[in-house]
Amino acid sequence: MARNWTESRLRNFITSEIEESLTLEYKSAEALDRNETKKKEITKDVSAMANSAGGIIVYGIREFDQTEKRHLPEKITPVDRRKYPREWVEQIIQAIRPRIDGIVIHSVNLSSGENDVAFVIEIPQSNTAHQANDHRYYKRFNFQAVPMEDYEIRDVMFREQTPNIVLNFLIEIGETIYDSAGKPSNSINLIIQANNNGSAFAQYVAVFLDAPVPILQTIENKLNVKDGGRFYRHRLTNLNQEYADAQFKSNFPLLRNMSMNWKIPLNENFDEFKSNDLTIKWKIYADNALPKEGKTALKEIEVVDLRKTRFQT
């Protein structure tokens, strides 16, 4: 999850109208306060994210009040770091029990004032259940933190005995190649990386990934076209190496803290579609772990241009 967070990146959430989701939540600066109610709310929101799929909470972006725009970011509301330093936020979060390992708090400087910041909190999915400082357990559901049922708490605690596969996406633009007629072209690939962040290895990993048809280089099997022709389903596994990284052999288990990659060729005119509201949908199966699903906006995927890298070196 870790990235370089800047004011420009935060403003992109607003201009691109990136909606809140299971793994993304916006909080205005007023959500930070030294009264006990607001402190409990912080531990509630952070623990709910860890108990669910992990994600990001941004303190310093306000949502719209209008019903039709709820959960969309309206504007940046600066946090005064003299009144609420990062260390204070960290101390509040440490009241969660057990403590959540791997949390990263980014303090993003804002141009509105010398002491104006936004806090971006990156929260990993945990391998156990965490309790807010009101002695309750919460999860993310429909953009909110809601209390967990007993069976849900038990399921989360069972994560420690199961693999936890997390997907990361990258778009890679290869260096320019010229054909015999001198016409330039570039290979553009969607890189899907599966990381096993769990405590147990995964003998079998399967990812059902639905990619928007317009961005793909080829449609290999029309039977895999879904949702009225809008998406094409790729079946990515550690058994079928059709899209896998060449260094992996068939039937290779995904060990703890290990990752593997798949590569899907994209349309050369990919840039024409990047600004559209297109998403990639995915569902992950791994051994006896509960299936996980989600979606990722195309415009939020980092692009690595190897042409520029080669030129600079």
pLDDT in tens, 81-92: 999 999 999 999
Same domain? For 142 and 204 the reply is: no
Task: Give a yes or no: residue 63 inside a domain.
Answer: yes
Find out whether 259 and 245 touch, Cβ atoms under 8 Å.
no
Task: Give a yes or no: residue 2 inside a domain.
Answer: no
The Cα–Cα gap between 116 and 10 comes to 14
pLDDT-wise least confident of 171-185, 208-222, 287-301: 171-185
Better-predicted residue by pLDDT, 220 or 91:
91
Task: Give a yes or no: residue 59 inside a domain.
Answer: yes
Number of independent structural domains in the chain: 2
Same domain? For 110 and 17 the reply is: yes
The Cα–Cα gap between 246 and 62 comes to 45
pLDDT at 147 over 70: yes
Q: Domain holding 177: CATH number?
A: 2.60.40.10
Task: Give a yes or no: residue 33 inside a domain.
Answer: yes
Give the tens place of pLDDT for each residue, 221-266.
999 999 999 999 999 988 755 445 555 545 678 888 888 899 999 9
Task: Give a yes or no: residue 252 inside a domain.
Answer: yes
Same domain? For 150 and 187 the reply is: no
Find out whether 294 and 282 touch, Cβ atoms under 8 Å.
yes
Pairing of strands 205-212, 231-237: antiparallel
pLDDT-wise least confident of 20-24, 173-177, 258-262: 173-177
Confidence of residue 311 (pLDDT cuts 50, 70, 90): very low
* Average pLDDT over every residue of 44-62: 95
* Average pLDDT over every residue of 83-108: 96
Same domain? For 306 and 174 the reply is: yes
* Average pLDDT over every residue of 125-130: 89
The Cα–Cα gap between 38 and 71 comes to 20
Find out whether 296 and 171 touch, Cβ atoms under 8 Å.
no
Q: Domain holding 47: CATH number?
A: 3.30.950.30
Pairing of strands 73-76, 61-63: antiparallel
Task: Give a yes or no: residue 171 inside a domain.
Answer: yes
The Cα–Cα gap between 31 and 303 comes to 33
Same domain? For 70 and 207 the reply is: no
pLDDT at 281 over 60: yes
Task: Give a yes or no: residue 1 inside a domain.
Answer: no
Domain boundary among 140, 160, 180: 160
Confidence of residue 182 (pLDDT cuts 50, 70, 90): low
Token look-up 């022709």 returns 229
Same domain? For 177 and 147 the reply is: no
Same domain? For 187 and 207 the reply is: yes
Find out whether 133 and 95 touch, Cβ atoms under 8 Å.
yes
Same domain? For 90 and 147 the reply is: yes
Pairing of strands 55-59, 24-27: parallel
Same domain? For 137 and 178 the reply is: no
Q: Is the dihedral of CA 209, 290, 249, 223 positive or negative?
A: negative
Domain boundary among 131, 160, 189: 160
Question: Of 107, 118, 5, 113, nearest to 60 (Cα)?
Answer: 118
Find out whether 56 and 23 touch, Cβ atoms under 8 Å.
yes
Token look-up 């799929």 returns 53
The Cα–Cα gap between 59 and 116 comes to 12
Domain boundary among 128, 160, 192: 160
Mean residue pLDDT of the chain comes to: 88
Q: According to the model, what pLDDT value does residue 1 have?
A: 47
- Please list the residues that pair with 73 across neighbouring strands: 63
Amino acid identity of 279? T
Q: How many CB atoms lie within 10 A of CB 30?
A: 11
Q: According to the model, what pLDDT value does residue 115 have?
A: 97
DSSP helix/strand/coil, 286? strand
The Cα–Cα gap between 200 and 202 comes to 7
Confidence of residue 119 (pLDDT cuts 50, 70, 90): very high
* Average pLDDT over every residue of 44-63: 95
Find out whether 167 and 207 touch, Cβ atoms under 8 Å.
yes
Q: According to the model, what pLDDT value does residue 251 have?
A: 60
% of the chain residues with pLDDT over 90? 60
Q: According to the model, what pLDDT value does residue 160 have?
A: 73
Edge to edge, what strands does the sheet with 188-196 contain? 259-265, 188-196, 165-173, 302-305
Same domain? For 131 and 192 the reply is: no
Confidence of residue 200 (pLDDT cuts 50, 70, 90): confident
Q: Provide the domain limits for residue 292.
A: 165-312
Same domain? For 22 and 150 the reply is: yes
